[in-house]
Amino acid sequence: MPLPPHELERLRRAVAGRSAASLVLDPSLTSEEQDRLDEVVARREAGEPLQYLEGTVDFGPLTLKIDRRALIPRPETERLWEEAVRSLGQAGPGTVIVDLGTGSGCLALALKHAFPDARVFATDTSEEALALAAENAALTGLEVAFLHGDLFAPLPRDLGGRIDLVVSNPPYVADGDALPAEVRDHEPHRALFAGPRGTEVLARIAEEAYWRVGVGGWVLCEIGDGQAAEALDLFNAYDREVRRDLTGSDRILVARKGASCCL
Ligand SMILES: C[S@@+](CC[C@H](N)C(=O)[O-])C[C@H]1O[C@@H](n2cnc3c(N)ncnc32)[C@H](O)[C@@H]1O
């Protein structure tokens, strides 16, 4: 099936490295650009995600590099970022923010952009994803400490009990659940699958975050469709609620340690 015209236009812009306006004024491509366009159109028609072929993705205020090393940032994760910014409100030099499973670095970098004085740490078990996140830090000029390892394990010990905000878009697909072919065949499986239930990583975050955030500290996580009741149960030691994404689905768990006044 031929590509929809808007996708073809996006790929033309990416290949030519020019704006839409410039391509309207002069639509011609060099022969190398045309060859490259033919190649990416064929790959798109074979099911490769558009953003991997474009090589960039917009996330909140940032334009980031993206490729197969990390999950493509999604609009529901931008919503998580917005909720995190709203929850934290303000941040000074003593404020500590942690992003677990940072992937491309989208949440950590967008939070550093919103709170330039805060110290932002981000972890991931994928060295490849962390390499991409570091490239995105260089691209945006934002300073985040990207650390390799499991959830909180690589963080400096002196942060224990002093974290103000934890965000995470953890893997939350149950092993064996069906995914669209475009996702299943091209995005990293370790970013998607969490275990037999799908909530295994979320459960660990609920438990491990409790002793690391300060009183009044926030934990915000993206969750899968149908996981709201279990997420509320997992976070029963916190004041918590589940908020909706733009399509009206319950997708954002907002939890706060010991401050029922302010959710
Ligand atoms: C759903 S992706 C989210 C990536 C990025 N935060 C985003 O929203 O686009 C989950 C990420 O968590 C990482 N991950 C999986 N298990 C992890 C663990 N135990 N500790 C740290 N990172 C983990 C994966 O490598 C992947 O980059």
Q: Say if ligand 1 is within 6 A of residue 136 CB.
A: no
Q: Please tell me which residue, 201 or 18, carries the higher pLDDT value.
A: 201
Return d(Cα 220, Cα 53) in angstroms, integer. 31
Say whether pLDDT at 258 is over 90. Answer: no
Instruction: Report the mean per-residue pLDDT for the chain.
Output: 95
- pLDDT in the model for residue 123: 98
Cβ contacts of 148 within 8 Å, gap of 6 or more: 123, 124, 125, 127, 130, 154
Q: Say if ligand 1 is within 6 A of residue 106 CB.
A: yes
Say whether pLDDT at 262 is over 90. Answer: no
Return d(Cα 97, Cα 112) in angstroms, integer. 9
Pocket test for ligand 1, best of 83, 120, 124 (most atoms within 8 A of CB): 124
Which residues lie across from 123 on neighbouring strands?
100, 147
Q: Say if ligand 1 is within 6 A of residue 168 CB.
A: no
Return d(Cα 228, Cα 217) in angstroms, integer. 21
Task: Determine the average pLDDT of the residues in 33-58.
Answer: 96
Distance of CA 130 from the midpoint of ligand 1 (Å) = 10
- pLDDT in the model for residue 261: 44
Closest CA to 240 of 221, 261, 263, 217: 263
Domains in the chain: ranges and CATH: 5-46 (no CATH), 73-262 (3.40.50.150)
Say whether pLDDT at 216 is over 90. Answer: yes
pLDDT one-digit tens code per residue, 115-152: 999 999 999 999 999 999 999 999 999 999 999 999 99
Distance of CA 102 from the midpoint of ligand 1 (Å) = 5
Q: Say if ligand 1 is within 6 A of residue 125 CB.
A: yes
pLDDT one-digit tens code per residue, 94-123: 999 999 999 999 999 999 999 999 999 999
Task: Determine the average pLDDT of the residues in 191-197.
Answer: 95
